Amino acid sequence: MLAAVLKSVDNLVLEDVPIPEPGLGEVVVRIKACGVCATDYKAIRGTRQNVTFPAILGHEPAGTVHTVGLGVTHLKEGDEVIIQPSGFCGVCDDCRAGKTHYCRNAFTTGGDGPTDVWPGSFAEYTKTRANCCFLKPPEISFDGACLTEPLSGAWKGVVDYSDTRVGDDVVIIGVGGIGLLCLMVARAAGAGRLIAIDLSDYALENARQLGATHVINPARDNPKETVYAVLPNGPDVVVEAAGPIQAVELTRDLLRRGTRWNVFGITTHETFELDGGLTHFLEARMDASFGTNPRAMLRAIRLLQTGLVDTEKIISHRFPLRDIHAAIEVMGTGERNKVVVNP
């Protein structure tokens, strides 16, 4: 099969590799679409350094079942499926408590986090455990379905953890791909005023088209003053979906009493300060969200199936696998949104 193999930093090579064979409880999926995540781009460029070479990246896939291993009874060849990249054992204490993204025996297909990394989906075929596959409803396209994993993370952070409710005033800091998914989930959850903050006018225009009631560019306007001009009582929910430590600091600065804030975007080990007494008296509730789990995946599929969220609206570029180098170049530009590779 054709695969994009990362040999070293900035050395992504297209080559023929063997099609994987499924073991006990495993399936091999013919990949139809795979989203490109910022963590993939960082791994290729060398800013994410927890990569063991050679590696096949790509952890946002959808496709059709190619072969099934022994013991697999709920899937058959030809089934259209969505892969949850974060694999889990199902028997450790965390899995049995329903927190499979904490699994002590976790693996990932082409992703980040666990030390056990299986080949990902910048390839024509991917092997995973059958319990990581979800049937794709026929009304969802493969391109739309491949973004189920990031959508599920957005649902987990915005709704399940930060408890966004009908009428809540919500601020999303950073409206790239994941920020726009958070924005669309907040809108579907019934957000009242929905403010997007970003340094990119291109991103802000996307946010406006997808439901933001107000947009703020900190390069032109003081973000705290502008937020509080729109929301004199302050926001109910603030989601940091940008990544830089300055976005986390802005999240903190926007808090009023009782704000629920989610540190979603940052993955680097940087520090910020909290005033202990102010934190005590504000009673603001901080959450964070990483990865996904089966419950979140099912909710994301429901959002797609019912049309409450349309992930195809945030796809700006599509490339065949043979043009993956062009896809990576686009990832480094300002005017792009979600990039999808079609093996």
236 & 253 share domain: yes
Structural domain total, the chain: 2
Write the CATH number for 164. 3.40.50.720
CA–CA separation, 38 and 23 (whole Å)? 31
Residues 7 and 131 placed together within one structural domain of the fold: yes
Question: For residue 273, how far is the Cα from the chain centroid?
Answer: 27
158 plus 142 within the same structural domain: no
Same domain? For 113 and 36 the reply is yes
- The phi and psi torsions of 134 (rounded to 5 degrees) equal -120, 135
Q: Clarify whether residues 142 and 158 are in a common domain.
A: no
Structural domain range at position 272: 154-288
Say whether pLDDT at 163 is over 90: yes
Query: Chain-wide mean pLDDT for the chain?
Result: 97
Q: Are residues 137 and 161 in the same domain?
A: no
Residues with Cβ within 8 Å of 125's Cβ and at least 6 positions away in sequence, in order, are 1, 19, 20, 28, 29, 30, 31, 66
The pLDDT-based confidence of 128 (bands split at 50, 70, 90) is: very high
pLDDT digit string, tens, across residues 237-276: 999 999 999 999 999 999 999 999 999 998 888 999 999 9
Whole-number percent of the chain with pLDDT over 70 = 100
Helix (H) or strand (E) holding 300: helix 294-305
pLDDT of residue 249: 98
Which pLDDT belongs to residue 149?
97
Flag whether 53 is in a domain: yes
Per-residue pLDDT reduced to its tens digit, 39-87 = 999 999 998 888 999 999 999 999 999 999 999 999 999 999 999 999 9
Query: Tell me, what DSSP letter sits at residue 135?
Result: E
Q: What is the mean pLDDT of residues 167-172?
A: 98
223 lies in the same domain as 239? yes
